[in-house]
Amino acid sequence: MSHIATASAQDFEQELPYYEPVGNECALFEQAYQQRLPLLLKGPTGCGKTRFVSHMAAKLGRPLFTVSCHDDLTAADLTGRYLLQGGETRWVDGPLTRAVREGGICYLDEVVEARKDVTVVLHPLTDDRRLLPLERTGELLEAPDDFMLVVSYNPGYQHILKSLKPSTRQRFVAMSFDFPPPKVECEIVARESGLAYDRCAALVNLAASLRAMKGQDLEEGVSTRLLVYCATLINAGMPILDAACATLVEPLSDDQDVQQGLLEAIKATFG
């Protein structure tokens, strides 16, 4: 089953989800929305892609339909299907169809995981036609101006069989995400965890040396998300080394040698 999150009108009245801009990404998102262009976000895990999309959806006042794609996700999971309800069969819109009908932002996370038939649905929607054909109901929906499609994936895990075809990629305006520059990352970690800025700065420094180990031994560098976890545990009173071990070592690798290397770097900073 796909995970579907919908923002209600109530959510819009609340504060915007906190997002610290790193470059021109907010302006680019807004332009893409206004010009009715679909957007592709690339970047490592835990660097702020999902937070960015929720922030922008709230800023633009559009409902957000998020789908975490997986290898069983079919076109029907996105468009909808006939379901038996109270003895009769009724068509139920999927999240993509709802976003098109209601004029919202549909966000397909880890889109490369989805099955191939999904691209058949996305193609007419992501070129200048902006059409969503619903074969099963015989409808042909035209996307309203306030509909936007956003997709994301992590190029780090990209499998040769699981990359997007050029004909799909080249339908999107694209931007790359990476871990924020140190000052911005300190702001984020401090704000998200409540830990004092100076202490977050030490963690962000440490992250730089841990990230330098990527490639040699590690598949992915430590994420901003994990730094937030670490700072949150420290702020709650956990000893630094315990917090670091639970957030900056264990989630990154199962390999003893790699873990040892990470631990040494941590001890060199906090030892």
Ligand X SMILES: Nc1ncnc2c1ncn2[C@@H]1O[C@H](COP(=O)(O)OP(=O)(O)OP(=O)(O)O)[C@@H](O)[C@H]1O
Decide whether 93 or 154 has the Cβ nearer to Mg ion.
154
Q: Is 62 in the site for ligand X (CB under 6 A)?
A: no
- At 90, is the secondary structure helix, strand, or coil? strand
C-alpha separations of 254 from 42, 259, 261 in Å = 26, 7, 12
The strand ranges marked E within 139-242 are 139-142, 148-153, 173-176
Least distance to ligand X from the beta carbon of 86, Å? 37
- At 65, is the secondary structure helix, strand, or coil? strand
Asked whether the beta carbons of 106 and 150 are under 8 A apart, the reply is: yes
Q: Is 19 in the site for ligand X (CB under 6 A)?
A: yes
Nearest to 263 by CA among 243, 245, 251: 245
Q: Is 50 in the site for Mg ion (CB under 5 A)?
A: yes
Site for ligand X in 70-89 (CB under 6 A): none
Handedness of CA 44, 186, 68, 129 (dihedral sign): negative
Decide whether 47 or 230 has the Cβ nearer to ligand X.
47
Q: Is 2 in the site for ligand X (CB under 6 A)?
A: no
- Candidate ranges 40-48, 57-65, 121-129, 137-145; the one touching ligand X (CB under 6 A): 40-48
Q: Is 38 in the site for ligand X (CB under 6 A)?
A: no
Residues that bind Mg ion (CB under 5 A): 50
Residues that bind ligand X (CB under 6 A): 18-20, 22, 43, 45-51, 154, 180, 188, 192, 224-225, 228
